[in-house]
């Protein structure tokens, strides 16, 4: 199981690296000879229209599109931030006295 997880992690890192490089050099890629020779822009547009034609239900109804606010439940975090919290100051002298009392109790028990 560990080998599979390592393989998946390596693949994910490699994919992210390649995607990042493509994003950084996207202008140079669009200006390259191969990109223009194979007319990639029209092929991408053709794929988009084919998807819209084959799956019309996904793109016709606006109410089917999931809003970002429905995915992330930020309202739960807001309620936690709005709560009033009572903080208590810790007196160093009281803590030292408590520790001294515990130490004397431990020595008397032994």
Q: What is the pLDDT of residues 1-34, one digit of tens each?
A: 688 899 999 999 999 999 999 999 999 988 999 9
- Find the farthest-apart pair of alpha carbons in the chain and give their distance in angstroms, rounded: 91
Question: What confidence score (pLDDT) does residue 68 get?
Answer: 56
Matching residue, tokens 């822009």: 41
86-93 mean pLDDT: 69
Structural domain spans, the chain? 6-109
Tokens 């004397």 belong to 104
| Residue scoring higher pLDDT (107 or 37) | 37
Q: How does pLDDT run across 47-64, given as a tens digit for each residue?
A: 988 888 887 666 566 655
């Amino acid at each position: 199981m560990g080998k599979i997880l390592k393989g998946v992690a390596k693949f994910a890192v490699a994919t992210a690296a390649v995607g990042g490089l493509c994003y950084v050099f996207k202008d140079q890629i669009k200006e390259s000879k191969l990109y223009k020779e194979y007319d990639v822009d029209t092929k991408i547009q053709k794929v988009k229209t084919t998807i819209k034609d084959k799956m019309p239900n996904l793109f016709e109804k606006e109410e089917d599109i999931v809003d970002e606010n429905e995915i992330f439940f930020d309202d739960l975090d807001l309620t936690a931030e709005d709560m009033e919290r009572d903080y208590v100051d810790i007196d160093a002298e009281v803590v030292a006295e408590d520790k001294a009392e515990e130490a004397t109790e431990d020595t008397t028990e032994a």
